[in-house]
Amino acid sequence: MNNMTQTEITSTQNDLIKYIVKLQNPKFRKSEKLILIDGEKSLFDIVQRKMEFIWLFIKKGDERFKNAKIKNLVYVNDEILKKISTTTSPTSAVGIIKEKNVDKNIFKNLSKIALIENIKDPGNLGTIIRSAAAFSIDGIILFGSCVDLYNSKVIRASAQNIFTLPILRTNDINFIKELKKNHKLISMVVDSKNDFMKHKFEKNFILAFGSEAEGLSEEIRQLSDINLSFFMDNNVESLNLALCSAISFSYIKYLN
Protein backbone atom coordinates (compact mmCIF):
# COMPACT_ATOMS: atom_id res chain seq x y z
CA MET A 1 0.00 0.00 0.00
CA ASN A 2 3.02 2.25 -0.49
CA ASN A 3 2.37 5.47 -2.42
CA MET A 4 -1.36 4.95 -2.00
CA THR A 5 -3.50 8.07 -1.92
CA GLN A 6 -6.44 8.25 0.52
CA THR A 7 -9.47 10.50 0.14
CA GLU A 8 -13.01 10.71 1.45
CA ILE A 9 -16.10 11.44 -0.65
CA THR A 10 -19.52 12.09 0.86
CA SER A 11 -21.58 13.25 -2.15
CA THR A 12 -23.00 11.22 -5.03
CA GLN A 13 -22.54 14.35 -7.16
CA ASN A 14 -18.75 14.17 -6.88
CA ASP A 15 -17.06 14.08 -10.32
CA LEU A 16 -15.21 10.83 -9.56
CA ILE A 17 -18.43 9.13 -8.48
CA LYS A 18 -20.14 10.29 -11.69
CA TYR A 19 -17.20 8.89 -13.65
CA ILE A 20 -17.41 5.51 -11.90
CA VAL A 21 -21.15 5.30 -12.59
CA LYS A 22 -20.42 5.86 -16.30
CA LEU A 23 -18.27 2.71 -16.25
CA GLN A 24 -21.50 0.71 -16.06
CA ASN A 25 -21.99 1.66 -19.72
CA PRO A 26 -20.20 -1.03 -21.81
CA LYS A 27 -19.09 1.36 -24.54
CA PHE A 28 -17.62 3.84 -22.06
CA ARG A 29 -16.02 1.07 -20.00
CA LYS A 30 -14.30 -0.34 -23.08
CA SER A 31 -13.03 3.08 -24.12
CA GLU A 32 -11.53 3.60 -20.66
CA LYS A 33 -10.16 0.01 -20.49
CA LEU A 34 -11.28 -0.29 -16.88
CA ILE A 35 -13.27 -2.98 -15.06
CA LEU A 36 -15.74 -2.40 -12.24
CA ILE A 37 -15.63 -5.12 -9.58
CA ASP A 38 -18.30 -5.52 -6.91
CA GLY A 39 -19.34 -8.46 -4.80
CA GLU A 40 -17.07 -9.66 -2.00
CA LYS A 41 -15.94 -12.90 -3.67
CA SER A 42 -14.85 -11.06 -6.80
CA LEU A 43 -13.07 -8.35 -4.81
CA PHE A 44 -11.16 -10.77 -2.59
CA ASP A 45 -10.17 -12.81 -5.63
CA ILE A 46 -8.52 -9.68 -7.01
CA VAL A 47 -6.65 -9.31 -3.71
CA GLN A 48 -5.52 -12.96 -3.78
CA ARG A 49 -4.27 -12.56 -7.34
CA LYS A 50 -2.26 -9.53 -6.22
CA MET A 51 -3.87 -7.41 -8.91
CA GLU A 52 -3.91 -3.66 -8.30
CA PHE A 53 -7.03 -1.63 -7.66
CA ILE A 54 -6.88 1.72 -9.44
CA TRP A 55 -9.62 2.81 -7.04
CA LEU A 56 -11.09 0.95 -4.11
CA PHE A 57 -14.23 2.39 -2.51
CA ILE A 58 -14.88 1.24 1.05
CA LYS A 59 -16.37 2.54 4.27
CA LYS A 60 -14.13 3.96 6.99
CA GLY A 61 -12.99 1.34 9.44
CA ASP A 62 -13.07 -1.51 6.91
CA GLU A 63 -9.78 -3.33 7.48
CA ARG A 64 -10.41 -6.29 5.18
CA PHE A 65 -8.34 -4.86 2.32
CA LYS A 66 -5.23 -3.84 4.27
CA ASN A 67 -3.10 -6.31 2.29
CA ALA A 68 -4.49 -5.29 -1.10
CA LYS A 69 -2.57 -3.43 -3.79
CA ILE A 70 -4.39 -0.11 -4.06
CA LYS A 71 -3.46 3.02 -5.99
CA ASN A 72 -6.30 5.20 -4.70
CA LEU A 73 -8.28 4.33 -1.58
CA VAL A 74 -11.57 6.23 -1.32
CA TYR A 75 -13.72 6.24 1.82
CA VAL A 76 -17.43 6.54 1.02
CA ASN A 77 -20.84 6.02 2.59
CA ASP A 78 -23.61 3.49 1.88
CA GLU A 79 -25.40 5.89 -0.46
CA ILE A 80 -22.38 6.18 -2.72
CA LEU A 81 -21.69 2.43 -2.63
CA LYS A 82 -25.27 1.83 -3.73
CA LYS A 83 -24.85 4.40 -6.51
CA ILE A 84 -21.68 2.92 -8.01
CA SER A 85 -22.49 -0.77 -7.47
CA THR A 86 -24.19 -2.97 -10.08
CA THR A 87 -25.64 -5.36 -7.52
CA THR A 88 -29.24 -5.16 -6.31
CA SER A 89 -28.28 -6.19 -2.78
CA PRO A 90 -26.21 -3.85 -0.55
CA THR A 91 -22.46 -4.01 -1.08
CA SER A 92 -19.65 -2.97 1.25
CA ALA A 93 -16.95 -2.26 -1.35
CA VAL A 94 -16.44 -1.52 -5.04
CA GLY A 95 -13.13 -1.73 -6.90
CA ILE A 96 -11.83 -0.57 -10.27
CA ILE A 97 -8.99 -2.39 -12.03
CA LYS A 98 -7.27 -2.01 -15.38
CA GLU A 99 -8.30 -4.23 -18.26
CA LYS A 100 -5.48 -6.50 -19.36
CA ASN A 101 -4.40 -6.55 -22.99
CA VAL A 102 -4.48 -10.03 -24.51
CA ASP A 103 -1.94 -10.75 -27.22
CA LYS A 104 -3.83 -12.68 -29.90
CA ASN A 105 -0.64 -14.41 -31.01
CA ILE A 106 -0.58 -16.54 -27.86
CA PHE A 107 -3.60 -18.41 -29.24
CA LYS A 108 -1.39 -19.90 -31.93
CA ASN A 109 0.36 -21.87 -29.20
CA LEU A 110 -2.78 -23.02 -27.35
CA SER A 111 -4.07 -26.52 -27.92
CA LYS A 112 -7.74 -26.46 -26.85
CA ILE A 113 -9.63 -23.31 -27.80
CA ALA A 114 -13.34 -22.54 -27.45
CA LEU A 115 -14.91 -20.03 -29.85
CA ILE A 116 -18.18 -18.43 -28.76
CA GLU A 117 -20.01 -16.42 -31.41
CA ASN A 118 -22.55 -13.62 -30.84
CA ILE A 119 -23.36 -14.56 -27.24
CA LYS A 120 -25.63 -12.00 -25.58
CA ASP A 121 -26.48 -13.46 -22.16
CA PRO A 122 -23.91 -12.48 -19.50
CA GLY A 123 -24.86 -15.34 -17.19
CA ASN A 124 -24.31 -17.88 -19.94
CA LEU A 125 -20.95 -16.38 -20.88
CA GLY A 126 -19.77 -16.38 -17.27
CA THR A 127 -20.83 -20.01 -16.84
CA ILE A 128 -19.03 -21.00 -20.06
CA ILE A 129 -15.84 -19.34 -18.82
CA ARG A 130 -16.15 -21.17 -15.49
CA SER A 131 -16.69 -24.52 -17.23
CA ALA A 132 -13.78 -23.90 -19.59
CA ALA A 133 -11.46 -23.23 -16.67
CA ALA A 134 -12.77 -26.29 -14.80
CA PHE A 135 -12.22 -28.66 -17.71
CA SER A 136 -8.83 -27.46 -18.98
CA ILE A 137 -9.78 -25.43 -22.04
CA ASP A 138 -6.71 -23.31 -22.79
CA GLY A 139 -8.36 -20.15 -24.10
CA ILE A 140 -11.59 -18.58 -25.35
CA ILE A 141 -12.28 -16.48 -28.43
CA LEU A 142 -15.37 -14.26 -28.37
CA PHE A 143 -16.25 -13.77 -32.01
CA GLY A 144 -18.74 -11.35 -33.52
CA SER A 145 -21.18 -9.25 -31.50
CA CYS A 146 -20.92 -10.48 -27.92
CA VAL A 147 -21.98 -9.17 -24.52
CA ASP A 148 -19.31 -7.10 -22.79
CA LEU A 149 -16.78 -9.56 -21.40
CA TYR A 150 -16.38 -7.54 -18.21
CA ASN A 151 -20.06 -7.07 -17.52
CA SER A 152 -20.40 -7.52 -13.75
CA LYS A 153 -22.79 -10.45 -14.25
CA VAL A 154 -20.22 -12.20 -16.45
CA ILE A 155 -17.55 -11.74 -13.78
CA ARG A 156 -19.76 -13.12 -11.01
CA ALA A 157 -21.08 -16.05 -13.09
CA SER A 158 -17.52 -16.99 -14.05
CA ALA A 159 -16.69 -17.27 -10.33
CA GLN A 160 -13.73 -14.99 -11.07
CA ASN A 161 -12.28 -17.49 -13.58
CA ILE A 162 -12.49 -14.68 -16.11
CA PHE A 163 -9.01 -13.73 -14.86
CA THR A 164 -7.69 -17.30 -15.21
CA LEU A 165 -7.98 -17.89 -18.95
CA PRO A 166 -6.75 -15.86 -21.92
CA ILE A 167 -9.92 -14.49 -23.56
CA LEU A 168 -9.76 -12.68 -26.89
CA ARG A 169 -12.49 -10.55 -28.44
CA THR A 170 -12.30 -10.28 -32.21
CA ASN A 171 -14.37 -9.89 -35.38
CA ASP A 172 -11.44 -10.79 -37.63
CA ILE A 173 -12.27 -13.90 -39.66
CA ASN A 174 -8.77 -13.79 -41.13
CA PHE A 175 -7.37 -14.45 -37.67
CA ILE A 176 -9.52 -17.58 -37.42
CA LYS A 177 -8.25 -18.64 -40.85
CA GLU A 178 -4.72 -18.10 -39.60
CA LEU A 179 -5.34 -20.29 -36.56
CA LYS A 180 -6.68 -22.99 -38.86
CA LYS A 181 -3.18 -23.55 -40.20
CA ASN A 182 -2.47 -25.46 -36.98
CA HIS A 183 -5.94 -26.01 -35.51
CA LYS A 184 -8.97 -27.99 -36.63
CA LEU A 185 -12.18 -25.93 -36.53
CA ILE A 186 -15.03 -28.00 -35.10
CA SER A 187 -18.50 -26.47 -35.01
CA MET A 188 -21.37 -27.45 -32.72
CA VAL A 189 -24.68 -27.33 -34.61
CA VAL A 190 -28.14 -28.84 -34.23
CA ASP A 191 -28.41 -30.47 -37.66
CA SER A 192 -25.24 -32.51 -38.19
CA LYS A 193 -25.21 -36.25 -38.83
CA ASN A 194 -21.91 -36.47 -36.95
CA ASP A 195 -22.29 -37.52 -33.30
CA PHE A 196 -20.23 -35.39 -30.92
CA MET A 197 -19.83 -38.32 -28.53
CA LYS A 198 -18.17 -40.45 -31.20
CA HIS A 199 -15.71 -37.81 -32.34
CA LYS A 200 -12.05 -38.25 -31.43
CA PHE A 201 -10.59 -34.91 -30.41
CA GLU A 202 -6.95 -34.56 -31.27
CA LYS A 203 -4.54 -31.83 -30.25
CA ASN A 204 -5.00 -28.29 -31.52
CA PHE A 205 -8.66 -27.63 -32.13
CA ILE A 206 -11.11 -24.76 -31.98
CA LEU A 207 -14.54 -25.85 -30.74
CA ALA A 208 -17.13 -23.31 -31.91
CA PHE A 209 -20.53 -22.54 -30.37
CA GLY A 210 -23.15 -20.11 -31.63
CA SER A 211 -25.79 -18.19 -29.74
CA GLU A 212 -29.00 -19.99 -28.78
CA ALA A 213 -31.08 -17.61 -30.87
CA GLU A 214 -29.00 -17.69 -34.04
CA GLY A 215 -26.56 -20.58 -33.89
CA LEU A 216 -23.26 -20.27 -35.69
CA SER A 217 -22.98 -17.91 -38.63
CA GLU A 218 -22.66 -19.28 -42.14
CA GLU A 219 -19.20 -17.70 -42.19
CA ILE A 220 -17.96 -19.95 -39.38
CA ARG A 221 -19.85 -23.02 -40.60
CA GLN A 222 -18.34 -22.74 -44.07
CA LEU A 223 -14.89 -22.46 -42.56
CA SER A 224 -15.36 -25.50 -40.32
CA ASP A 225 -13.51 -28.76 -40.85
CA ILE A 226 -16.41 -30.71 -39.34
CA ASN A 227 -19.82 -30.03 -37.77
CA LEU A 228 -20.96 -32.03 -34.74
CA SER A 229 -24.27 -32.42 -32.90
CA PHE A 230 -25.50 -33.98 -29.69
CA PHE A 231 -27.88 -36.81 -30.55
CA MET A 232 -30.67 -36.37 -28.00
CA ASP A 233 -33.74 -38.34 -26.96
CA ASN A 234 -37.41 -37.37 -26.84
CA ASN A 235 -37.20 -34.93 -29.76
CA VAL A 236 -35.33 -32.35 -27.69
CA GLU A 237 -34.09 -29.87 -30.27
CA SER A 238 -31.27 -28.17 -28.40
CA LEU A 239 -29.63 -27.51 -25.04
CA ASN A 240 -28.86 -24.30 -23.21
CA LEU A 241 -25.59 -22.92 -24.56
CA ALA A 242 -23.82 -22.95 -21.21
CA LEU A 243 -24.93 -26.53 -20.55
CA CYS A 244 -23.91 -27.63 -24.03
CA SER A 245 -20.44 -26.18 -23.60
CA ALA A 246 -19.99 -27.70 -20.13
CA ILE A 247 -20.90 -31.17 -21.43
CA SER A 248 -18.53 -30.72 -24.35
CA PHE A 249 -15.60 -29.53 -22.25
CA SER A 250 -16.00 -32.30 -19.67
CA TYR A 251 -16.30 -34.98 -22.35
CA ILE A 252 -13.10 -33.78 -24.00
CA LYS A 253 -11.25 -33.81 -20.68
CA TYR A 254 -12.43 -37.11 -19.23
CA LEU A 255 -13.85 -39.38 -21.90
CA ASN A 256 -12.08 -38.56 -25.13
Could you write out the three-class secondary structure of the chain?
CCCCEEEECCCCCCHHHHHHHHCCCHHHHHHHCEEEEECHHHHHHHHHCCCEEEEEEECCCCCCCCCCEEEEEEECCHHHHHHHCCCCCCCCEEEEEECCCCCHHHHHHCCEEEEEECCCCHHHHHHHHHHHHHCCCCEEEEECCCCCCCCHHHHHHCCCHHHCCCEEEECCHHHHHHHCCCCEEEEECCCCCCEHHHCCCCCCEEEEECECCCECCHHHHHHCCEEEECCCCCCCCCCCHHHHHHHHHHHHHHCC
- Please write the tens of the pLDDT for every residue from 91-133: 899 999 999 999 999 999 999 999 999 999 999 999 999 999 9
Does pLDDT of 32 surpass 90? yes
Dist CA 107 CA 92 (whole Å): 38
β-strand partners of 248? none
Q: Are 69 and 7 in contact (CB under 8 A)?
A: no
> Based on C-alpha coordinates, what's the Rg of the chain?
21
Report the candidate in 104, 103, 82 with the shortest Cα–Cα distance to residue 38.
82
- From the number of C-beta atoms within 10 Å of its C-beta (0-12, 13-18, 19+), residue 245 rates as buried
Q: What is the pLDDT of residues 176-199, one digit of tens each?
A: 999 999 999 999 998 899 999 999
Rounded to the nearest 10 degrees, the angle between the axes of helix 241-254 and helix 122-134 is 10
pTM: 0.91
What pLDDT, on a 0 to 100 scale, did the predictor assign at position 88? 81
What structural domains and CATH numbers belong to the chain? 5-98 (3.30.1330.30), 104-254 (3.40.1280.10)
34-55 tens-digit pLDDT: 999 998 889 999 999 999 999 9
pLDDT of residue 89: 82
Pairing of strands 112-117, 167-170: unpaired
pLDDT digits (tens, 9 = 90+) for 51-97: 999 999 999 999 999 999 999 999 999 999 999 999 888 789 999 99
pLDDT in tens, 209-241: 998 788 999 999 999 999 999 887 766 666 789
**What single-letter amino acid sits at 15?**
D
Counting every residue written for the chain, the total comes to: 256
